[in-house]
Chain A
């Protein structure tokens, strides 16, 4: 009697667990579940913005905290004919185009970018995977570039288009791209970085120029930036979610 009951309970427990687990995995494939859970992202963004405000700075660290080797992640070398040609001559001809909803479209050479006022910051890089690395970044505040380009009143997001192709070989190209809203883009620590730890930015870290947005996770900071575009929305761009990883299901809000 007791044995039967125990066996029943064990079976019931195992069955319920299987149903629950299998159920949740298949629930994860339901579009309505994904969109419901994604709604929470908006709540998270608003709550975090409420606390962090416009200008709260990400913590900065001392030279002693700098990691001996800064871990490189994602694309380590775009390795396209075009990119390799730029790399071979030290990115002298690399230009960053700034366009879209701006009054003054720009085409900035690396020399011009380096000649602008710079900011150097020792910050912590947080990967969405969970690890962190501390490094010293030098670059041009994005704020200055935006001020020169003068976004129109309709502009809401800054999009970054990159030189690294994320698609599998043989598939149509899918170049890395990302977006920030104007508030994060004009944050004082948001810079177009061209130096890591005082040295010219290495290829594995996004040479010649990558974004640093210090209140966000790593995937929000694209490398190998070629073009910056101001837009009023990003629904019509690529997968429509505002970034390469966002199109793969990651949250657009990368503050957590």
Chain B
């Protein structure tokens, strides 16, 4: 009797399908631990990063800031009905009052780039934002390097993450399947599909290093140690702009990642990233 309610919950969560199924060991311990440390780091880094951005909410191209011609800016203009937030992207201007340029701080409309709910700390506080940002940047880099070393030495990168020629060939069909929300089942669910490989590989081995290097390029001491950084990224202000784009690429990845996790079986996915075990439908010997 005691097993029945537990079983129905497990069934409702998709952890115990009606048909034949078995548990598959999906993610190793180091992958699981580094995944969650990384998730935490990204939340802190993004929000403290937006706090830092708010100290000068404009982006430029090149070595220095051409104040009259930002690529993007968030400003507050005065109007009869109170301050108006204007976001400029290239030649376009948008009224973004309430979110960008002007938003409430302690209930009062204030000139600020990103709103209070998006920044760490909430109120304008650059010194504290920098402390959070650099502390979690260290954790992000150390965690990332450990994952890199592990995944390269243990073959995780090559076997599980690097897209193969077959993967690339299957890509069009997979895109169609994903649009139809048809996800791999059974044996096929044991490995990453081409879209997953492409996403994970580029986030881990391209976006990750890019955001760290562009971050370091903004440091005047690092520029004296490695002047090549300025050459690679075409100047400190370009590096800052790329850093910003990378941050939002991480956010975009996060959103798609969460949607995919939910659509392809929230609890089974979540459990596999916590305990490592993942339910595969079908019989173990195929």
Binding site for B on A (CB under 8 A): 17, 20-22, 24-25, 28, 34, 36-38, 40-41, 43-44, 48-49, 51-53, 56-59, 61, 65, 67, 71, 124, 126-134, 214-217, 245, 248-251, 255-256
Find out whether the CB atom of A34 lies under 8 angstroms from the CB atom of B222. no
Q: Cβ of A132 and Cβ of B125 under 8 Å apart?
A: no
Among A34, A56, A61, A217, residue most surrounded by chain B Cβ atoms (within 10 Å): A56
Contact of B120 among A25, A129, A217 (CB under 8 A): A25
**In the bound complex, how far is the Cα of B64 from the Cα of A36, in angstroms?**
33
List the 7 closest A-B pairs by CB distance, nearest first: A255-B221, A249-B127, A256-B219, A51-B225, A52-B225, A129-B56, A37-B131
B198-254 interface with A by 8 A CB criterion: 218-227, 230, 236-237, 240
The smallest beta-carbon distance between A43 and chain B, in angstroms, is 7
- A24 and B122 CA atoms in complex are apart in Å by 9
Query: Interface residues, chain B, CB within 8 Å of chain A?
Result: 43-44, 47, 52-53, 55-56, 58, 60, 63-65, 67, 117, 120-123, 125-128, 130-132, 134-135, 138, 218-227, 230, 236-237, 240
A51's partner among B53, B135, B226 (CB-CB below 8 A) is B226
Choose from A52, A127, A134, A245 the contact partner of B224 (Cβ within 8 Å).
Answer: A52
B118 nearest in chain A by CB position: A21
Q: Which residues of B contact A245 (CB under 8 A)?
A: 127
A129 touches B63 (CB 8 A): no
User: Is there an interface contact between B219 and A48, defined as CB atoms closer than 8 Å?
Assistant: yes
Given contacts A28-B128, A124-B223, A251-B131, 10 further A-B contacts (CB under 8 A): A17-B117, A22-B122, A37-B131, A40-B135, A41-B131, A48-B219, A59-B227, A59-B230, A133-B64, A216-B221
How far, in angstroms, from A48 to B117 measured CA to CA in the complex? 33
Residue pair A61, B220 in contact (C-beta under 8 Å): no
How close is A80's CB to chain B, nearest CB, in angstroms? Answer: 27
A58 touches B220 (CB 8 A): yes
Residues of B within 8 A of A248 (CB): 127
Chain B proximity of A130: nearest CB distance (Å): 4
Q: Are B135 and A37 in contact (CB under 8 A)?
A: yes
Most buried by A among B43, B225, B226: B225
B55, B64, B221: most-surrounded residue (chain A CB, <10 A) = B221
Known: A25-B122, A65-B63. A130 touches B221 (CB 8 A): no
Q: With A128-B126, A132-B65 known to touch, is A40 a contact of B131 (CB < 8 Å)?
A: yes
Docked CA distance A58–B223 (Å): 7
11 sampled A-B residue pairs with Cβ under 8 A: A17-B117, A20-B43, A24-B120, A52-B225, A56-B224, A59-B227, A65-B63, A71-B67, A130-B55, A132-B65, A256-B134
**Alpha-carbon distance A25/B116, docked complex (angstroms):** 10
A22 to B123: give the CA distance in the assembly, Å. Answer: 11
Q: In the complex, which of the residues A37, A43, A71 contacts B132, with contact meaning CB atoms closer than 8 Å? A: A37
Contacts of A127 in B (CB 8 A): 56
Q: Which residues in B have their C-beta under 8 angstroms from that of A49?
A: 221
Chain A positions within 8 Å of B44 at CB level: 24
User: Is A129 within 8 A of B219, CB to CB?
Assistant: no
Q: Tell me the bound Cα distance from A134 to B126 in angstroms.
A: 23
Contact (Cβ within 8 A) B65 A249: no
